[in-house]
A and B are shown apart, each in its own frame.
Chain A
Amino acid sequence: MGKELLKKALGWANEKKGSPQERMPQPEEKRPLSTNWDENQKNLREVFSQCADAVFQETSFNADQPLRILLVYLETLTDQAQISQTIIKSLQQGPLELPDEVSVSPATAPEVLQKHVLSACHPQTSADLLELTKLVLGGNIGILIEESPLAVVVPAQGGQARAINEPENEPNIRGPRDGFVESLKTNISLIRRRLRTSRLKVETLEVGLLTKTAVAVCYVEGLAQPEMVEEVRRRLRRIDVDAVLGSGYIEEFIADEAISLFPLVLTTERPDRVTAALLEGRVAILVENSPSTMVVPCTFISLLQASEDYYVTAPFSTFIRLLRFVALNIALLLPAVTVAVFSFHQELVPITLLSTVANTRQDVPLPIFIEVLLMEITFELLREAGLRLPKTIGQAVSTVGGLVIGQAAVEAGYVSPLPVIVVALTAIASFTAPNYIVGTSIRILRFFLLILAAMLGGVGIMLGLMAILAHLTALRSFGIPYLSPFAPLSPADLKDTFVRAPWWAMITRPRLDGVREPQRQDPDQGPQKPEDSGTRKGRQRS
């Protein structure tokens, strides 16, 4: 089949480079700490040699018999104030009150530190050099004690982080304004604040041999299908890469299809959106250092929905959704339809319009397909240029684009006004897509359809649309058909697609292949007009 051929071709391009063991020498599993103070110190310094941000701070533990202590931490990842004010201070002060039977010796020191001296910092112990290294790299402070084979590890994560602010890509008018940031902990807390139930489960695992990126899988127990959660876990565990620098890395590994033009996971920076998805029985995947969070399974219609839809009134939200759908079709089809109509099916155009267009096109040298294509490419260039440039220069780009290219080209008679209008309308329509990624799919397909329209007119457009439809119906996201609830049809779920039913009517959750708690709320909660007699009675009673 085509898919397999494609996979094969991609496989030839990057022949298998061998298993990870060959790719990167894996250190042996265990290297226990010894009781030899010098050896431990030397080993640890060796591990962190040439790491300018690794700090080795010697101090002493003030007990009956002072013990030498070595603090190891990365100053870039830790909270300096906490180290100097809490940890070092309490180490130098020594234990305030020790029970009589406990005496401080190298053998008991770790326990004393853990239970009596640093107990406020939730320390743990480690007996392994590699484990200790890993913990230190995670922003903990390693405390090496003289002659002791156990190191105490104190969490002291710190460092700079971006403050929570409104996600720029998904602005909102009503509803919450907070957006995910780079810190995984903060992101989980944003979800937890909205879902104060112990049924919200958060599982973390580590991906990336070098980056050791924490990835969290969130779901609501009892709503998400266990098989779905297991499938997410399985696909995440299967990933074996050096580095994960953003959720996009993970997305391509866990998607159902090798290559798809449409996003198979939903990415969002809005915690309210993720929470809503969790409540529908979906699974969220949060990636450390990435504000865009993934939600699976993803359906096509969810890419056309914005969280805003649920905060404004139901009729308005329905109107906006229909508008968005129209805009999607304009963005996809308008250039192609223009070319098809004006070069194949002129009979569809009213005669007055046709003569107007013909007049403006009299002195234009190029056929309409080339014109539209050139204007589309110009627009794509401008858009990309505006996106990558600093904001101040971006304005210059729009001036050049709008004024110089648009107006001047028309006035000079190189292009007719029609393609300019078409491209402008297409561009505006494409900006209404609430999801940036689906906008990019539409951009690619627009060119595909444009070329087909130039070759075969309306027939070509239909051929292209059927191919797109076949692709869309064949896609699945974590086993859920991409076009559900339309095909396969599940009528009850149509309440939240092109229309948005009022909240009191959203009685059932989406069917996502048999959710376990189908009912969301009590069915009879629709607002009711107070009956005349009823209110009077009520008044009398009060």
Chain B
Amino acid sequence: MSRLPFYIIVGLLLVAGIATSVHRHLQFEIPWIPGEQRQVWEVEAVINFNAQNGPVEVDLALPSHQNGFRVLTENTASSGYGLAYQADELGRQAQWTIREAAGSQQLYYSVQMLVSPDARPPVQTPPGLRTATPWESPYESAASQLIDRAWARSANNETFARELILDVNGERQGENARLLLTQETPSALIVRLLNQAGVQAREVSGLLLEDGRRRQSLSSWIQVFNEPANQWSLFNPMTGEQGQPDNLLLWETGGRAVLEVQGGTNSRVAFSMLTHHQPASAAVRNHYSEDTLLNFSIHSLPLEEQALFQTILLIPIGALVVVFLRVLVGIKTSGTFMPVLIALAFIQTTLLTGLIGFLLIVAVGLVIRNYLSYLNLLLVARVSAVIITVIAIISIFTVLAYRMGLSAGLTVTFFPMIILAWTIERMSILWEEEGPKQVLIQGGGSLLTAVLAYLAMNNPWVRHITFNFLGVQLILMALILLLGNYTGYRLLELRRFKPITDDEKPS
């Protein structure tokens, strides 16, 4: 009987578990340790327009992952409108459509952006150079003069762009620039001149983030493609400053319009924003993720189900503690996994209240069960009677605790009543058959296991890891399989079999 397949399975589980965990850590920047705070910006865009009694189509450019920011979640509110998200190489867009609309319309879009210094935009492709529209005769020479002067004073695309911006907008603004500015807005002019000189450039829209600001609009920025580095450099079209300010969120980078409305007039978009800090785990929960297998995550579930899973995913930890204590230590418990359920109850009640509550309920239950045994009942009926007794005890304790102003006492209702009833039943039989000593040994063993399982399951780090890294479940599985294969001695056997080894000692 070869054990090879077993070790292959364990190995695969370990590799898969570690790989998915590391992938989640790297891909979604989920930290290994809980408690890190992350800054999140909430930005809301409100689109206003007047519909003209006909079909309406609204296109709004949307922000993507970029330098310094990562998209967490996005929501829209638009009653009656059809909504589609579209993405192409120029960026993402939301498209609202409706067959019939009249009067003032409002559409909302909100997005949560996680501030993450090492976020990177998707792979950049150099755009094709746009063919420059030729200038009319008086402007033609002004444009070429501007280009020539800036070209002469620059060394590469970026310095050329900077010189051009200074010539158009800065203190050096001359007659040529003033003439051309009658035809175009400054940013559009600069991009047109850059393109004319054979430099790939585009006008982008960005939002300067400031906490609590409302009714903001986007500002224009200029991106110049830096060929050797294969990336876009950002310029402020007013000052010629290069680089992206920390608080600048690029909203639209495809060189397209931010807002396009067909079938409406007087359209405008305004932005309001808010920032807050939240624990990394919460930020992670909101991660915007595509539905691929590796991104498979319970964080795509509604919040309520997630809270449920947070507990469910802890049970394997409790099971591991039980397996460890039984296989490696050799502790006796009453009911194999009863301690795990008690530990789950402890999580709700906190440890001290839980221990006191548990001991009180079991002690009172044992006394009452002792009386029940004189009634000569059938097993099922007796256990049912014990269940009702347990419920009565819990109710009385809760009311008493409430009357005495002990709010902690109210949490005893979290104890699994059926499990408690069976525990009382088993303990009672154990008492009758093997005496109080065995009851203490097994009851103490169960309680010790429950406390250790509770400490493991209630550890913030364990909670963080089990909830955020599903791969850990595979690792736990592998560990439990390995423990299930352990043929060595249990810790307590070293004491049990001690007398045998005594004989070999020279006396």
Q: Does B associate with A?
A: no
Q: Which residues on A are within 8 Å of B, measured CB to CB? A: none
